[in-house]
Copies of this chain bind each other. A is one copy, B any other.
Amino acid sequence: MRHFGLVLILTVVFFSTAWAADDPLTLESNRNAIELVQTHADYVWTLVAAVLVFFMQAGFAMVEAGFTRAKNAVNIMMKNLMDFSIGSLGYWAIGFGLMFGVSASGWFGTTGFFLGDFTPDGDPWVLAFWMFQVVFAATAATIVSGAMAERTKFSGYLVYSIVISALIYPIFGSWAWGSLYKGGGWLEGLGFIDFAGSTVVHSVGGWAALAGAIVLGPRMGKYTRDGGIRPILGHNMPMAALGVFILWVGWFGFNPGSTTAASKDIAMIFVNTNLAAAAGAVLAMTTSWIKFGKPEVGMSLNGALAGLVAITSPCATVSPLSSVVIGAVAGVLVVLSVLFFDKIKIDDPVGAISVHGVNGAWGTLAAGIFNMGGTSLSIIGVQILGIMACFAWTFTTAFVMFKLIAATIGLRVSAEEELAGLDISEHGGNAYPDFEVISYGTGMGAVGIPIPGPANAAGGPIMASASPAEQA
């Protein structure tokens, strides 16, 4: 244990390793020393990867704010900050224990709350592992924020944020990723492959987002009474693009970091992650070009994310060539899926359901289909079972939770608050006081059909359109 001060810091460099000084020089002591150095490298890699995954919080905040309107940008920052902050405390107090605690049943853990009884022997590995896991939990929570943007009551959102971090996510996680000291999840026991969490993290977020979007209903003015779809423009495309680049950076922690070990295996995971993202972006751009006549930026950005989500499950067990195929399919799928959810009038301002839910499922299936170790109907069947179990658990519990919130403290702001923007109504401020925000209107959105010119002249019609109550 070393602390501070340069003299001590210098000491660290030369004597921090356990074999110092009076350690006798034997084959065994050398072997132990080698294993200790490897362990140090494992800590460094796992925790650096955790930093990259943490950075994804910034990426989600930028993507979500960029794809929505200026009048709700403060609210989005607050939601993302609190997803991680409250989520960290909830996952520390409850979630981690449920997910990785001792589980006799295989359905959830019952020890390790508050990191309490995890380290009887003082091994700090559990702390490194917690750090890597808490950033995953926060990712699942933050995914939902985008689909519920621009109309959710902040206090209701905070309740959701605690529940997903402390209960919904960890319990499903315990099924697929097992428990820390003994026992294991039932899905894991069947051979379910989800290396870094296409299902465990992204589909959980995506299906909770679907439940949230359904319970909330669409934003005012999004769907007209005569069946029309009115795209609502995102307010800052460079911000959204920065967010996607940051998320891409973060995924280089998310996927290869899931080895939680410094090993040669991370190389292929890096390459696969990168190729799938690239293929997703290119194919989504191409699809949008064909569908809309122009290469659309929102779709292209979401295409990269779709590729990343899809490769998350299979990244360690498929070839680079397969990764290109998996990402390419994801890029097409995300465009079609966004259009589909718009058609059935489920309003998802950023495309989170399509990116994380649908492509999380696709990636999990792909892990079975493209498995380098060989595939079979039984392998694919287990993958499908995992996908279905995730949907059933997450959608059901999230739907019930959102209905309960709506019935008690309230889940949606009033029509007046929604029109004014959540920044002013929920937080008493606004994001850009030095600039006049002229639109608050509708038009081509981050995920929508391009239209030939600015479409900001629709203040009246929005006001006149269906109220949230009518729409929901």
Interface locus among A33-41, A390-398, A403-411: A33-41
Is B40 a contact of A13 with CB atoms below 8 Å? Answer: no
Evaluate whether A51 and B252 lie within 8 angstroms (CB atoms) in the complex, with A6-B100, A270-B128, A429-B237 already known. Answer: yes
Residue on B with the closest CB to A134? Answer: B274
Residue on B with the closest CB to A274? Answer: B88
Is B249 a contact of A88 with CB atoms below 8 Å? Answer: no
| Residues of chain B contacted by A268 (CB below 8 angstroms) | 124, 127
| Residues of chain B contacted by A12 (CB below 8 angstroms) | 42, 259-261, 263, 265, 316
Say how far A100's CB is from chain B's closest CB, in angstroms: 5
Q: How far is the CA of A205 from the CA of B268 in the complex (A)?
A: 28
Is A389 on the interface with B (CB-CB < 8 A)?
no
Is B193 a contact of A40 with CB atoms below 8 Å? Answer: no
Q: What is the copy number of this chain in the assembly?
A: 3
Query: What's the tally of chain A residues with a CB closer than 8 Å to chain B?
Result: 175
Evaluate whether A85 and B5 lie within 8 angstroms (CB atoms) in the complex, with A238-B77, A263-B12, A270-B128 already known. Answer: no
Q: How far is the CA of A188 from the CA of B89 in the complex (A)?
A: 34
Is A125 on the interface with B (CB-CB < 8 A)?
yes
Q: How far is the CA of A194 from the CA of B262 in the complex (A)?
A: 30
Is A435 a contact of B437 with CB atoms below 8 Å? Answer: yes
Residue on B with the closest CB to A248? Answer: B54
Is A294 a contact of B428 with CB atoms below 8 Å? Answer: yes
Evaluate whether A278 and B85 lie within 8 angstroms (CB atoms) in the complex, with A40-B264, A242-B62 already known. Answer: yes
The listed residue with most B CB atoms (<10 A of its CB), out of A177, A270, A317, is A270
| Residues of chain B contacted by A293 (CB below 8 angstroms) | 428
Q: Mark A48-85, 1 if CB is under 8 A from B, else 0.
A: 10111011011001100100011101101110111011
Residue on B with the closest CB to A154? Answer: B295
Is A6 a contact of B124 with CB atoms below 8 Å? Answer: no
Is A115 on the interface with B (CB-CB < 8 A)?
yes
Is A25 on the interface with B (CB-CB < 8 A)?
yes
Residue on B with the closest CB to A50? Answer: B270
Is A98 on the interface with B (CB-CB < 8 A)?
no
Say how far A469's CB is from chain B's closest CB, in angstroms: 25
Q: Mark A252-294, 1 if CB is under 8 A from B, else 0.
A: 1100101111111111101100110111011001000000111
Q: A427's contact among B321, B426, B450, by CB below 8 Å, is which?
A: B450
Is A324 on the interface with B (CB-CB < 8 A)?
yes
Q: How far is the CA of A437 from the CA of B3 in the complex (A)?
A: 49
Is B261 a contact of A13 with CB atoms below 8 Å? Answer: yes
Say how far A451's CB is from chain B's closest CB, in angstroms: 7
Q: Mark A373-392, 1 if CB is under 8 A from B, else 0.
A: 10000000000000000000
Evaluate whether A89 and B13 lie within 8 angstroms (CB atoms) in the complex, with A3-B193, A270-B50 already known. Answer: no
Is A320 a contact of B115 with CB atoms below 8 Å? Answer: yes
Q: A300's contact among B40, B81, B193, by CB below 8 Å, is which?
A: B81
Is A233 on the interface with B (CB-CB < 8 A)?
yes
Is A1 on the interface with B (CB-CB < 8 A)?
yes
Say how far A354's CB is from chain B's closest CB, in angstroms: 18
Residue on B with the closest CB to A240? Answer: B77
Q: How far is the CA of A43 from the CA of B252 in the complex (A)?
A: 13
Q: How far is the CA of A194 from the CA of B3 in the complex (A)?
A: 7
Nearest 4 pairs of A and B residues by beta carbon: A428-B450, A58-B245, A233-B433, A16-B263
Extra contacts besides A9-B129, A237-B423 (4): CB < 8 Å = A1-B265, A4-B181, A6-B129, A74-B297
18 contacts between A and B (CB under 8 A): A1-B317, A4-B176, A4-B258, A6-B184, A6-B195, A8-B178, A9-B129, A48-B48, A54-B252, A77-B241, A78-B295, A82-B282, A124-B265, A128-B267, A233-B434, A234-B433, A433-B439, A433-B455
